[in-house]
Amino acid sequence: MKQTAFTRHFTYRNNVIYCGHATISTPLKNIQSTFHVHDVCELILVKAGSVSAMIGEQIYKLGKNNLVIFRANIPHKMMFDSDSDYERYNILFDETVVGNRVFDRIPKSLHFIDCNGNSSILGLFEKLDFYCEHFQGEDLALLLQNTIEEILFHIYLIRPDDFDGEPISSMHPTLRDALQYIARHYCDPITIDEICRHLCVNKSHLHHLFTEHLQITPKKFINIRRLAKAQKLIRMGEKPSTVFSSCGFSDYATFFRNYTAYFGRSPSRENEFAAHRTIEP
């Protein structure tokens, strides 16, 4: 696998933004990203290739000039649908520091935008290449910060009826039903047996559907959703000792062990980490 083009990782006003533009060469189809969660937001603009984006329980098919929005604390993954070269821009940012909290004004239901014909948004992404080629240091930081804010303002102006895509419908119906059930109940103390009874399937079949289509087990999928919710609540000021039960964990010891293993830090150190974190793609 080969990557080309620019990546920029920098600190600005004590917060971190990552900007990247890369071409990833074949073979790709057997390479899958892990189902994961960010504590920041991410934009991915596809310039070439055949990929899909999974956001929570929804999957979107992406092609040239399609933009997908990943919000903080929402589990997601990218999936390569063919072995054609994949070119993309990706931007990660803390939505609390961009201009006038513009990201908060973008409808939360907006995940997918077809930017074909939208020269304003496409042109702003191309500016990232120009700035990274000609500037560095604080000048580059300021230009990229302003460009990201301008991209978000243009997204805010888009009418969802014209540009919001629908999730693809080719997902296996049992898997779709399982994801929808988990989305409604993952903060409850549900078990895999309970999900199987609800769907009238056996555990081995459900396990096979998840690992074949999503490359993750049902148990790990539920666990990531719960941990992402817990991280968000802790960042909002709730105590870890009370968060675990509202996120579906039966006891604090299990929550502590899973949280530490997944995030690499204990729940009590979450806000300490957030104050000094760096963002990686």
pLDDT at residue number 191 = 94
Residue ranges of the domains in the chain? 3-163, 173-274
Q: Over the stretch 42-51, which tens digit does the pLDDT of each residue have?
A: 999 999 988 8
- Quickly name the fold that domain 173-274 has: Arc Repressor Mutant, subunit A (1.10.10)
* CB of 86 closer than 8 Å to CB of 51: yes
Q: 52-56, long-range: CB within 8 Å, 24+ apart, which pairs?
A: 52/78, 52/79, 52/81, 52/168, 53/77, 53/78, 53/79, 53/111, 53/112, 54/78, 54/79, 54/214, 55/111, 56/179, 56/183, 56/225
CATH superfamily of the domain spanning 3-163 = Jelly Rolls (2.60.120.10)
- Residue the block writes with tokens 């997601």: 76
Let me know: does 280 contact 9? Beta carbons within 8 Å: yes
Across 149-162, average pLDDT: 84
Q: How confident is the model at residue 154 (pLDDT cuts 50, 70, 90)?
A: very high
Q: What's residue 171's pLDDT?
A: 77
Helices (H) and strands (E) in the chain, counts: 10, 10
Closest CA to 12 of 105, 104, 98, 100: 98
Residue 58 has what DSSP assignment? E
The model's pLDDT over 102-153, given as tens digits with 9 standing for 90+, comes to 899 998 888 999 999 899 999 999 999 999 889 988 888 889 889 999 999 9
Is 29 a residue whose pLDDT tops 70? no
